[in-house]
Amino acid sequence: MPVQALYALQNGFIGFQRAGLFYGEFSAEKVQIPIACWLVRTGDATILFDTGLSPRAIPGLMRNDPMARFTEDDLLVHRLDRVGLEPDDVDLVVLSHLHYDHAGGAQLFPKSELVVQKDEYAYAHYPASFFESFYYRKNFDLPGYRWRLLDGDTELAPGVSALRSDGHTPGHQSLFVELPESGPVILAGDSCYWLEHVETERPPGVVWNPTLALHSIKRLKTLARLTGARIFPGHDPVFWETVTQAPDAYR
């Protein structure tokens, strides 16, 4: 059964240094960036792409980050509730990668299948020292949860495929979603933080391998050109203002 709808679920905002956003930039200036989760409904599956921040992390963020903005509505459970769902209704939770602002809500889904690239899962448990502050073991060390570890591009449901897009991290993946009316969309995750990363082919500032990150940007652009897809970046505050927010949907 084909894709029916794509919902944008806002999970608040955090402050982030421009140096962390754009590779090679040394500005300490901070900007406010959105934390995004996406929900795909197909005829026979409900698929969540990314889970945002851990609810446990919110009080600390609000204390320490003057740009953090997080309301009750921003909690992932409340966003799901607005579209008539509970966590247990989600069949697949696809994690672009296991950084704290993407895997933080994974613990809400003990009944779902958690889908991540095998290389990401392995690396997250033993990250290099420069990446330790981005991987919180509590977010993904979830005994008894159902993990499905992928090795490369994988069709997850008719019209929904995981696309390997390494570089930001060793096992980053994006999600290709074929919408029936408005055409295909690529949810880029952190392979493209902002549209500017797509347009000017700039790797993210937080990066495991900038060369691979650049290859992934080019790969997603090529796929977008070949299929007529639009690329939705992961943390672009200007793009985010133009996004149709749940409970409204892309169809």
Residues in contact with Zn ion by the rule CB under 5 A: 99, 190
Q: For the chain, how far is it from start to end, CA to CA, in angstroms?
A: 14
d(CA 51, CA 108): 9
- Nearer Cβ to Zn ion, position 127 or 159? 127
- Nearer Cβ to Zn ion, position 7 or 135? 135
- Nearer Cβ to Zn ion, position 120 or 190? 190
Q: Determine which helix (DSSP H) or strand (DSSP E) holds 143, and give its type and residue range.
A: none
d(CA 92, CA 145): 12
CB of 185 to Zn ion, least distance (A): 20
CB of 49 to Zn ion, least distance (A): 14
CB of 130 to Zn ion, least distance (A): 13
CB of 190 to Zn ion, least distance (A): 4
d(CA 176, CA 188): 9
CB 58 within 8 A of CB 238: no
- Nearer Cβ to Zn ion, position 41 or 219? 219
- Nearer Cβ to Zn ion, position 74 or 190? 190
- Nearer Cβ to Zn ion, position 6 or 95? 95
Rounded to the nearest 10°, the torsion over CA 236, 81, 1, 44 is 130
Q: Determine which helix (DSSP H) or strand (DSSP E) holds 237, and give its type and residue range.
A: helix 237-242
CB 108 within 8 A of CB 89: no
CB of 234 to Zn ion, least distance (A): 8
Q: Is the peptide bond before 180 cis (omega within 30 degrees of 0)?
A: no
Q: In this structure, which amino acid lies at residue 111? A: K
CB of 238 to Zn ion, least distance (A): 19
CB 202 within 8 A of CB 243: no
